[in-house]
Structure 1
Amino acid sequence: MTDVSDSRVSLNETAYRQLRGDIIACRLAPGQRLTEKQLAADMGFSVAPLRDALIRLDHEGLIRTLPRKGYQVTPLTPKSIDDLFGVWGLVGPELIRLGLRQASQAQLDAAREAFDGLDALSQEQGGSPSVLLDIDVVNRTFEVLAEATGNTYLINFFQQLMGDMSRIRALLLTSDRTSAATGLADHWVRHILDEQDVDKAAEHARRYIEDVHQHVLRVIIRWPSVMSSEVSVLPPR
């Protein structure tokens, strides 16, 4: 009985991770409509684990449930992207300031080692590693800094932002050759880990986030999956 239960949990988790990875990497485009039957045929899972995955992703805000119509990958719109960067520009530098101030040496070393591993993989493959690996390392670094703050609200808030920030990064890396070609050794997140002055690190992050914000707004018109996304207006309560 235990084996059956463990198998089901494992299958559910596998379906969740695969579906989440497809959304984060934008292989499932923002605004794309989904059905359980279609996903089962495309991914090779039965409906039960996919339904569990879709419920989890709905809770994370990456999927929207459409009553009697199936599901939709949560759209990214010009306004939602602008709003997201506005919030990240306020929260990100402070998360970095507090995280660097309170992180242990072991936590900082673990974050640096993740970038070293990404560099090594890039050299082995003779080019840039996959977009998902790049995003995973950046996310893990910010998770370390968020956890180091010890602030539950800040940790939860970062986790809410992480999915959409990852999707924007994937779109940027896959559609903008300049961003994709940036050397990992020069990655701005790596630089803030090595900065001795936490206030300077936070200010560097603020400037970088604003630069990327403006860059994304300039290139957003080349992202059909974003520009064609539906904009839903909720009725007043």
Structure 2
Amino acid sequence: MSVTSSEPVSLGDTAYRQLRSDIVSCRLLPGQRLTERSLAETTGFGISPIRDALTRLSHEGLVRTLPRKGYQVTPLTLKSVDDLFTLWRIVGPETVRLGVQDATAEQRRQIITALSAAIPGNDPTHDNTDDQPRLRLEAVTAAFASLAAATDNDYLIRVHDRLQNDITRILALITADTDTPTPEPPIDTEWLELVEHRNGDAAAARVRDYVTDLHTRVLRILTRWPSVVASEITPTHD
């Protein structure tokens, strides 16, 4: 159920949210060329909202400007993916440790609610088994965003958001383009107890193990793609 906000949302905000969703979900693929005019035609927004959205996405690192050529969805390379996971292995556990320890009662409730939805079989409202991995990933993403917010550290929150954008892109790209399953976050009832009892160190250790495992598996998948011999990673399907 959506919540109606009393504050109006500008067309630029709406365009930004749509384009950001399209990029993070890889409906707009890494390396894809974009122009204000083509995006205006496909989305129905005017040039001005599209320009505002692209400016914000550029600041977030999701698109880059190509002088006299328009824009490009920020490409992924094997090195950039490797670097991303290396940084996430440093930032992710510490974000979780601080978030678990410092969360307010309301923030803990939000985190536990999101994590509960990520436990297999815990959300009876979604019966389509094909959607379960995606829905669990969305729940975990929401929980980690709440954990980052609970740190009350603006720098850490910005770094987390930037990392989460690219991690989600990589997982979406792999999920859509390979039959090899990626490891899902090991969310179980023990996770809920760690949050409830503010056991940040144990939660951080679990995140570190997961990121390390995911790092290895993602690189193993990508190194089998023909496109890794080039400078940018592209989908292998036609």
Shared fold per TM-score greater than 0.5: yes
* SS state at 2:205 partner: helix
* Match in the other structure for 1:33: 33
Q: Alpha carbons of 1:151 and 1:50: their partners in 2 closer, same or farther (altered >3 Å)?
A: same
Deviates more, 1:49-58 or 1:218-227: 218-227
Residues in 2 aligned to 1:221 and 1:33: alpha-carbon distance in whole angstroms: 24
Contact 2:183 2:214 in 1 (8 A): no
* Match in the other structure for 1:55: 55
Residues in 2 aligned to 1:71 and 1:166: alpha-carbon distance in whole angstroms: 21
Residues in 2 aligned to 1:68 and 1:91: alpha-carbon distance in whole angstroms: 36
Contact 1:16 1:53 in 2 (8 A): yes
Contact 2:23 2:29 in 1 (8 A): yes
Unaligned runs of 5+ in 2: 1-6, 234-238
Q: Alpha carbons of 1:189 and 1:99: their partners in 2 closer, same or farther (altered >3 Å)?
A: farther
Q: Which has the higher helix share?
A: 1
Within the alignment, does 1:128 sit opposite 2:126 as a pair? no
Contact 1:30 1:225 in 2 (8 A): no
CA displacement at 1:135 relative to structure 2: 4.5
CA displacement at 1:60 relative to structure 2: 0.6
Q: Alpha carbons of 1:146 and 1:189: their partners in 2 closer, same or farther (altered >3 Å)?
A: farther
* TM-score, length-scaled by structure 2: 0.80
Q: Alpha carbons of 1:141 and 1:226: their partners in 2 closer, same or farther (altered >3 Å)?
A: farther
Contact 1:75 1:226 in 2 (8 A): no
Deviates more, 1:208-217 or 1:142-151: 142-151
* SS state at 1:128 partner: helix
* Match in the other structure for 2:148: 146
CA displacement at 1:29 relative to structure 2: 0.8
Q: Which amino acid aligns with 2:96?
A: I
Residues in 2 aligned to 1:227 and 1:151: alpha-carbon distance in whole angstroms: 39
* SS state at 2:163 partner: helix
* Match in the other structure for 1:3: none
Residues in 2 aligned to 1:211 and 1:73: alpha-carbon distance in whole angstroms: 27
CA displacement at 1:127 relative to structure 2: 3.7
CA displacement at 1:216 relative to structure 2: 0.4
Q: Alpha carbons of 1:116 and 1:177: their partners in 2 closer, same or farther (altered >3 Å)?
A: farther
* SS state at 2:181 partner: helix
Q: Alpha carbons of 1:227 and 1:26: their partners in 2 closer, same or farther (altered >3 Å)?
A: farther
Residues in 1 aligned to 2:226 and 2:51: alpha-carbon distance in whole angstroms: 28
* Match in the other structure for 1:213: 215
Residues in 2 aligned to 1:51 and 1:161: alpha-carbon distance in whole angstroms: 24
Contact 2:182 2:217 in 1 (8 A): no
Matches within 5 A, 1:1-237: 9-117=9-117, 119-120=122-123, 123-129=126-132, 131=134, 133-177=135-179, 179=181, 187-189=185-187, 192-195=191-194, 196=197, 197-221=199-223, 230=232
Q: Which amino acid aligns with 2:186?
A: W
Residues in 2 aligned to 1:141 and 1:215: alpha-carbon distance in whole angstroms: 23
* SS state at 1:120 partner: coil
1:32-81 per-residue CA deviation (whole Å, 9 max, x = no partner) reads 11111211222222211111111110011000011100000001110000
Residues in 2 aligned to 1:219 and 1:27: alpha-carbon distance in whole angstroms: 20
Deviates more, 1:100-109 or 1:30-39: 100-109
Residues in 2 aligned to 1:224 and 1:55: alpha-carbon distance in whole angstroms: 32
